[in-house]
Amino acid sequence: MRLLVGLGNPGPKYARQRHNIGFMAIDAIAAAHGFPAFRRRFQGEVSEGRLGGERVVLLKPLTYMNESGRSVGEAMRFYKLEPGDVTVFHDELDLAPGKVRVKRGGGAAGHNGLRSLDAHIGKDYWRVRLGIGHPGRPERVVGYVLSDFAKTDAEWLAPLLDAVATAAPLLTAGDDANFMNKVALLTQPPRPKAPKSARTDVAGTGPAGNES
């Protein structure tokens, strides 16, 4: 069994904020793979289903970001899971918008949700780092992550969430490298079409009217 956790803050006020991209990823996975409606449990919202051959619990903590570890810890104790069975989706300032990286363990890097998880379950869980970019100056970080995505962000955000949902079975199968590769492939911008030749061949002839 795998526990997939999205980090965010509950309620419509926060729903479109950059800090809530973890919630958005979990919702996208649930929708793409036919998970049932979320229900209240473990101080959060959960939905149970399957990704590939793996039984999966999706969890969105409702404790607010700073106390996310309480909800995750409660779910882990109920299902008797280890930190290595947990994968957490969260916003990442140090990645360009739309980029994704997966790693196990590491520091919180100032992220209060990760700090809470580290305190409650240890650091040895998997992290899916969803790039939102950096505002450029440290004093602007709080306002930036707690602001809604800009309308122009939809150009990369929607394809990213779709790609994460599509590739999620690779993640739960433990194939994080191919998960990242597939997300990158699915979010590549389309290649520009080659321009049509200025000349149109006449049937049975080549350029300049010469016979083919």
Catalytic residue numbers, as ranges? 19
CATH topology classification for 2-209:
Rossmann fold (3.40.50)
CA distance 94 to 192: 29
C-beta of residue 72 within 8 angstroms of C-beta of residue 92 = no
C-beta of residue 142 within 8 angstroms of C-beta of residue 17 = no
C-beta of residue 145 within 8 angstroms of C-beta of residue 18 = yes
Q: Quote the pLDDT of residue 189.
A: 74
Q: Quote the pLDDT of residue 212.
A: 39
Buried b (16+ CB within 10 A) or exposed e, 74-87: bbbeebebebeebb
> Is the torsion defined by CA of 192, 198, 203, 204 positive or negative?
negative
Is the pTM of the predicted complex or chain greater than 0.75? yes
Number of neighbouring beta carbons within 10 Å of residue 166: 16
Q: Quote the pLDDT of residue 192.
A: 65
Tens digit of pLDDT at every position of the chain (212 positions): 999 999 999 999 999 999 999 999 999 999 999 999 999 999 999 999 999 889 999 999 999 999 999 999 999 999 999 999 999 999 999 999 999 999 999 988 889 999 999 999 999 999 999 999 999 999 999 999 999 999 999 999 999 999 999 999 999 999 999 999 999 999 987 666 666 654 444 444 444 444 43
The residues pairing with 61 across neighbouring beta strands, listed in sequence order, are: 44
Joined together, the tokens standing for residue 57 give 């619990």
- Residue ranges of the domains in the chain? 2-209
φ/ψ bin of 49: left (φ > 0), alpha (ψ from -120 to 50), beta (otherwise): beta
CA distance 3 to 139: 34
Number of neighbouring beta carbons within 10 Å of residue 29: 27
Residues 6+ apart with CB under 8 A from 172: 2, 4, 51, 52, 54, 56, 87
